[in-house]
Amino acid sequence: MGRNKLWRFEINASRRNVIEEGKEIFSTIKGQWRPYFENTNDLVLELGCGRGEYTTGMAAEYPHRNFIGVDIKGARMWKGSTVAVENNLSNVAFLRIRMFQLLDFFEAGEVNEIWMTFPDPRMKDQDEKHRLTNVEHFKRYRQILKPGSIFRLKTDNYPLYEYTLEVLKNPELTISELVHTDDLYQNPGLLAEHHGIQTTYERKFLKEGSKINYLRFRLW
């Protein structure tokens, strides 16, 4: 492992806003997010947050909501954690887990909104079980969300966008108010919803000429 990565891991270990294995709070945080933030405000998750541009960007814009970036990669998370510390964003936390563990870290109905930003598409058939927008993952997201809360997805990957729209037709999921576009930057109505925030991967994909797909709906 590179020295830079190790150094970032050491800093994460000392940071209150990084919740990861090895810290006492890792086993006690479920159902305790509001006491952790010392308020009773909404919780918004950014799943697969990487460096957490939505987590920190939205936290600065909405000081009366709490934002939690979830990812397994600690070195990326260090960046978002650092931005939060440098900007005194006390409404930000990062949770280092794999997505299938979500139910161990959030009570049913504890979460008020989910953003998923540029998940790895994993479009090979044998990888569907790892795809973060498969039915099983959506059933998990539904459990931790307050019924009828908003779920948003931004992706450069058109097959993943189409796949996700198909998954949402599954009778085991109840959704409403679905809106979507395969070209966010040409859709002024929906563009307003992205808050002008671009993630690291989004900037890379835009440079390569990709269109950005976006969808938003309520999940019951």
Ligand X SMILES: C[S@@+](CC[C@H](N)C(=O)[O-])C[C@H]1O[C@@H](n2cnc3c(N)ncnc32)[C@H](O)[C@@H]1O
Question: Could you give the residue numbers annotated as active site?
Answer: 120
| 3-class DSSP state of 46 | strand
Name which of 15 and 74 has its Cβ closer to ligand X: 74
Name which of 39 and 150 has its Cβ closer to ligand X: 150
Instruction: Decide if residue 118 touches ligand X (CB under 6 A).
Output: yes
Q: Which residues pair with 155 in a beta bridge?
A: 213
Give least dist CB 43 to ligand X, A.
Answer: 18
CA distances (Å), origin 161, targets 124, 185, 199: 14, 16, 18
Q: Is the dihedral of CA 10, 15, 17, 23 positive or negative?
A: positive
Residues 207/167, Cβ–Cβ less than 8 Å: no
Among 199, 212, 217, 219, binds ligand X (CB under 6 A): 199
Helix axes 74-86, 3-14, angle to 10 degrees: 50
- Of 120-159, binders to ligand X (CB under 6 A) are 120, 132
Report the distance separating Cα 160 and Cα 140, nearest Å.
19
Q: Please return the burial class of 24, using the count of CB atoms within 10 Å of its CB with bins 0-12, 13-18 and 19+.
A: exposed
Report the distance separating Cα 136 and Cα 59, nearest Å.
29
Instruction: Decide if residue 193 touches ligand X (CB under 6 A).
Output: no
Give the total of residues touching ligand X (CB under 6 A): 18
Give least dist CB 56 to ligand X, A.
Answer: 12
Instruction: Decide if residue 201 touches ligand X (CB under 6 A).
Output: yes
Among 12, 66, 117, 155, binds ligand X (CB under 6 A): 117
Instruction: Decide if residue 48 touches ligand X (CB under 6 A).
Output: yes
Among 119, 138, 149, 167, binds ligand X (CB under 6 A): 119
57-96 footprint of ligand X as x/- string (CB under 6 A): --------------xxx--x--------------------
Instruction: Decide if residue 98 touches ligand X (CB under 6 A).
Output: yes
Q: Which residues pair with 42 in a beta bridge?
A: 65
Residues that bind ligand X (CB under 6 A): 48-50, 71-73, 76, 98-99, 117-120, 132, 199-202
